[in-house]
Amino acid sequence: MKIKITIWHVLLMVSLLLSFFPLLWMISIAFKESSQVFSHILNPLPVPLTIEHFQHVWSTVPLLRYLGNSFFVSSVVTFFQLLTSLLAAYAFTQFQFKGREFLFYLVLASILIPIQVTMLPNYLLLSDLGLVNTYAGLILPQLANGLGVFLLRQSFRSIPSSILESARVDGAGDLKRLWTIMIPAVKPSVIALGILFFITTWNEYLWPLLVINDETKLTIPLAMQLFISTEGGTSWGPMMAMALLASIPPLVAYFLLQKHIISSFLHSGVK
């Protein structure tokens, strides 16, 4: 088989290079000796290799705690967003009721309202409730997601009516029907959406920045910010070691699930 190198291949290789360029340098600097960081800038190979930067980060930053915080908050938010989206999408596709159109457009409109409009009132509300600086305050405003409702409604509508009819004959209750018929029928979309919610929450910055200032409750992005501001802009080795450590869990998860993730994105309504 002859492989023809076309303009498309060239374009793709350039985007690939640009995508991995910063990552490779992060890894390189994390393992380089401090003196090498300043003198041999263009040499990406960390020779001699050192783990002093990792030891430094490990001894100064409670990283496991921060990873745990991020994991906890992201899991809870993902769970609730999926749950509320599934129930709402079920109602929009399986029931006839007064105000269905209006309520659906209301859900759609919520996607367009950006966080800068809601952050101040939400902060005031949570501070009245005494929830500033708590996980509850971090999680509470994110229990539902309009985009999730919209995308799952699209998926539910694509389920062949023959499948739905057979369930109706069985006389299954609504929740049972949702759980045993509808969710399995659109499983790839549910998984893709769950992953999307998780990544989004994991990477969230603005809302946690406002709500959390207790150092033990920081999530990973805030910990990264704190590290940069306390270490100053010069200890590059530790900074990259910290960046690398913070990225390992999501990267490992991604590589374990990558086939699933990408095909879910491509074949689900997430578009």
Partner 1 sequence: MSRVLTVPLPSLRGSLTSSPIFRKCKPYLFLLPALLPLILFIFAPLVRSLYLSMLSWNMVSPNPEWVGFANYQELLTSEEFWKSTVNTLKYAGCLLVFLLVLPFITAYSVTRVPIRVQNFYKTALFVPHVLSLAVASAIFLWLFNPVVGVLNELLSLVNISAINWLSSPTWALFSVSLIVAWNTFGYHFIILLAGILAVPGEIVESARLEGMKRHLGLLRRIIIPLCGPTLLFVFIMTVVMGIQFAFVPVQMLTNGGPNQETTHLVFLTYQYGFQFFRSGLASATAILTFGLFLILIIVQALLLDRRVHYEN
Using CB under 8 A, which of the segments 46-54, 55-63, 129-137, 263-271 binds partner 1? 263-271
Secondary structure (3-state) at 96: coil
How does DSSP assign 19-78, residue by residue? HHHHHHHHHHHHHS-HHHHHH-TT--S-SS---HHHHHHHHHS-HHHHHHHHHHHHHHHH
Site for partner 1 in 209-238 (CB under 8 A): 209-210, 220-222, 224-225, 227-228, 233, 236
**Shortest Cβ 240–partner 1 spacing (Å):** 7
| CB of 159 vs partner 1, minimal distance in Å | 17
Residues within window 156-215 making contact with partner 1, judged by CB under 8 A: 173-174, 199, 202-203, 205-206, 209-210
Q: Residue 207 CB, nearest distance to partner 1 (Å)?
A: 10
Q: 172 in helix, strand or coil? A: coil
The stretch near partner 1 (CB under 8 A) out of 47-55, 115-123, 128-136, 159-167 is 115-123
> Is 102 a binder of partner 1 (CB under 8 A)?
no
Among 18, 160, 216, 232, binds partner 1 (CB under 8 A): 18
**Does residue number 124 form part of the binding site for partner 1 (CB under 8 A)?**
yes
Count residues near partner 1 (CB under 8 A): 93
* Residue 169 Cβ vs partner 1, minimum distance, rounded to whole Å: 17
Scanning 48-56, 158-166, 179-187, 262-270 for contacts with partner 1 by CB under 8 A, the matching segment is 262-270
Residue of 142, 133, 69 whose CA lies nearest to 110: 142
Furthest C-alpha separation in the chain:
75
Q: Which of 63, 72, 79, 87 binds partner 1 (CB under 8 A)?
A: 87
And the tokens for 31?
Answer: 């393992």
Minimum CB separation of residue 49 from partner 1 in Å reads: 18
Q: Would you tell me how many other CB atoms lie within 10 Å of the CB of residue 121?
A: 9
38 near partner 1, judged by CB under 8 A: yes
15 touches partner 1 (CB under 8 A): yes
Task: Give pairs for 201-210: CB < 8 Å, separation 24+.
Answer: 201/73, 201/74, 201/77, 201/78, 201/142, 202/70, 202/74, 202/250, 206/115, 206/119, 207/115, 207/119, 207/138, 207/141, 207/142, 208/138, 210/119, 210/123
Contact 211, 138 (CB under 8 A): yes
91 is a contact residue toward partner 1 (CB under 8 A): yes
Subset of residues 60 to 79 that bind partner 1, contact rule: CB under 8 A: none
Q: What CA–CA distance (Å, rounded) separates 107 from 152?
A: 12
How many whole angstroms separate alpha carbon 251 and alpha carbon 255?
6
Residue 179 or 205: the one with the smaller Cβ distance to partner 1 is: 205
User: Which member of 83, 129, 136, 256 binds partner 1 (CB under 8 A)?
Assistant: 83
Position 262 contacts partner 1 (CB under 8 A):
yes
